[in-house]
Amino acid sequence: MMPKSLRILGAGKIGIQEGKKPQPNDHQILIKVVACGQNPLDVGVVGITANISEFADFYTGNTIGCDFAGIVESTGSLTTRFQPGDRVAGFVPGNLQDQGAFAEFLVTEEAFSARIPDDVSFEQAATIGVAASTAAISLYSHLNLPRRRKDPNPFKEFILVNGGSSAMGTMVIQIAKMSGAKVIALASSKNFGLVQSYGADKVFDYHDPNAVTLIKNYTDNALELVVNCVPTTETCRLICDCISPKGGKCVNLVQVDTSGAEFRKDVKFSLFMAFQVFNEAFVLGPELYAPSQELRELLADFWQEMDEDLLPKKLLKFHQLKIIQGGLEGVVESHRQMRDQRISGWKFVARISDTPGVTLLH
Ligand SMILES: NC(=O)c1ccc[n+]([C@@H]2O[C@H](COP(=O)([O-])OP(=O)(O)OC[C@H]3O[C@@H](n4cnc5c(N)ncnc54)[C@H](OP(=O)(O)O)[C@@H]3O)[C@@H](O)[C@H]2O)c1
């Protein structure tokens, strides 16, 4: 039987297809995927195909998903880090290109993968790929926090993480804490304990009308750095209100138009896509994103740290997860739940072997 993968099949449609097993080139590794994590981008790209017909043609045929955990089946002749049989996790430019994570097999570069320690499950490891990559780029490249391994001087500034209970938020909090930052976060009050368990020093409720005042008091009006994991016009406005009179920087993880007069000009908003580390330019909605050699090098170095240090020394705590019932077949329903904004403090993960007709042979 040919291996299965979950693909975009046309406007707003996804489904399981069979196809040839991919073959790694000299620089790639072939992974037998065991578990894969769902991200908002998976749902967003399918949504774009439903709403804009030219994008349906553009993305049709691409495999869904960016976060994988699996077993190395074979390695290209010029790869050096992994051996067949290694358990690894990482991220791939799924949805936008053919090699997605919701598949029995994928090929990927070894640079953005790390070995999974024996006592970590494939399901847990499938939660880290995009979130850790995006957190590292946000903090080290856009906000210039010191790298834990390279700069021993702790960074003593405040950083606000909006969306502290999101998959992105729990990763940003942990990596910012590793740099020594004083981390505050916004989340629903039911998730305060969860957000603090990832290291946030103080959490505020974004529903509380006094949140801005409380943050200004707590930071003594000295907040200058923000990672906005839930970027909307409203959250960008709230962030402007929290930032010090000296001005500041905010990384928005999705595009929001902040050019209007309602936004402070001394708050510099920036945006990037983690997929810019891969070698090809890509289109997402109306934007064309160019690859970035600088981000590529930064992230390859971060994944090496993940492999040598963060995962084996248990320095990262995984996001909570819920298993998608029915493996690849259950993804239509898990996409629906994400579209309906029913995710709070956990991530959907699929086990490939839960898919009817798929047997895990290892
Ligand atoms: N630029 C990139 O390369 C890149 C990479 C990865 C992700 N992203 C983007 O980052 C965003 C977050 O992704 P994710 O996987 O972390 O999402 P997620 O875990 O699915 O987000 C769910 C969380 O959003 C929180 N939330 C909802 N409305 C909020 C608000 N108004 N203020 C604060 N928090 C709110 C909820 O918090 P409560 O339940 O506590 O209310 C919930 O825990 C997505 O838009 C994604 O597309 C971008």
Q: What pLDDT, on a 0 to 100 scale, did the predictor assign at position 361? A: 47
**Rounded distance from Cα 163 to ligand 1 centre (Å):** 6
**Rounded distance from Cα 19 to ligand 1 centre (Å):** 33
Classify residue 281: in a domain, yes or no.
Answer: no
We report the CATH number of the domain holding residue 84 as 3.90.180.10
Do both 267 and 136 map to the same domain? yes
Classify residue 224: in a domain, yes or no.
Answer: yes
Which atom number of ligand 1 is nearest to the Cα of residue 186? 33
Classify residue 147: in a domain, yes or no.
Answer: yes
Cα 110 to Cα 61: distance, rounded to the nearest angstrom: 24
Classify residue 169: in a domain, yes or no.
Answer: yes
Cβ contact 200:173 at 8 Å: yes
Of 59, 26, 21, 17, the closest CA to residue 41 belongs to 59
Do both 164 and 41 map to the same domain? no
Cα 177 to Cα 222: distance, rounded to the nearest angstrom: 18
Of 141, 139, 195, the closest CA to residue 169 belongs to 195
Cβ contact 63:99 at 8 Å: yes
Q: What pLDDT, on a 0 to 100 scale, did the predictor assign at position 153? A: 79
Do both 140 and 268 map to the same domain? yes
User: From the CB of 143, is ligand 1 less than 6 Å away?
Assistant: no
Tokens of 84: 């067949």
Cβ contact 48:282 at 8 Å: no
User: From the CB of 130, is ligand 1 less than 6 Å away?
Assistant: yes
Which atom number of ligand 1 is nearest to the Cα of residue 338? 20
Of 295, 318, 294, the closest CA to residue 306 belongs to 318
User: From the CB of 70, is ligand 1 less than 6 Å away?
Assistant: no
Question: What is the DSSP secondary structure assignment for residue 100, as one 8-state letter?
Answer: -
Cα 289 to Cα 326: distance, rounded to the nearest angstrom: 34
Q: Which residues contact 332 (CB under 8 A, 6 or more apart)?
A: 14
**Rounded distance from Cα 341 to ligand 1 centre (Å):** 10
- Total domains in the chain come to 2
User: From the CB of 179, is ligand 1 less than 6 Å away?
Assistant: no
We report the CATH number of the domain holding residue 148 as 3.40.50.720
User: From the CB of 343, is ligand 1 less than 6 Å away?
Assistant: yes
User: From the CB of 273, is ligand 1 less than 6 Å away?
Assistant: yes
User: Which DSSP helix (H) or strand (E) runs through 269?
Assistant: strand 267-270
User: From the CB of 129, is ligand 1 less than 6 Å away?
Assistant: no
Q: What pLDDT, on a 0 to 100 scale, did the predictor assign at position 357? A: 84
Do both 246 and 158 map to the same domain? yes
Which atom number of ligand 1 is nearest to the Cα of residue 137? 3
The residue whose CA is least distant from atom 26 of ligand 1 is 163
Classify residue 182: in a domain, yes or no.
Answer: yes
Do both 199 and 261 map to the same domain? yes
**Residues spanned by the domain of 204:** 132-272
- From first to last of the 362 residues of the chain, give the pLDDT tens digit: 899 999 999 999 999 999 999 999 999 999 999 999 999 999 999 999 999 888 888 899 999 999 999 999 999 999 999 999 999 999 999 999 889 999 999 999 999 999 999 999 999 999 999 999 999 999 999 999 999 888 877 788 999 999 999 999 999 999 999 999 999 999 999 999 999 999 999 999 999 999 999 999 999 999 999 999 999 999 999 999 999 999 999 999 999 999 999 999 999 999 999 999 999 999 887 889 999 999 999 999 999 999 999 999 999 999 999 999 999 999 999 999 999 999 999 999 999 999 998 865 44
Do both 153 and 121 map to the same domain? no
The residue whose CA is least distant from atom 39 of ligand 1 is 344
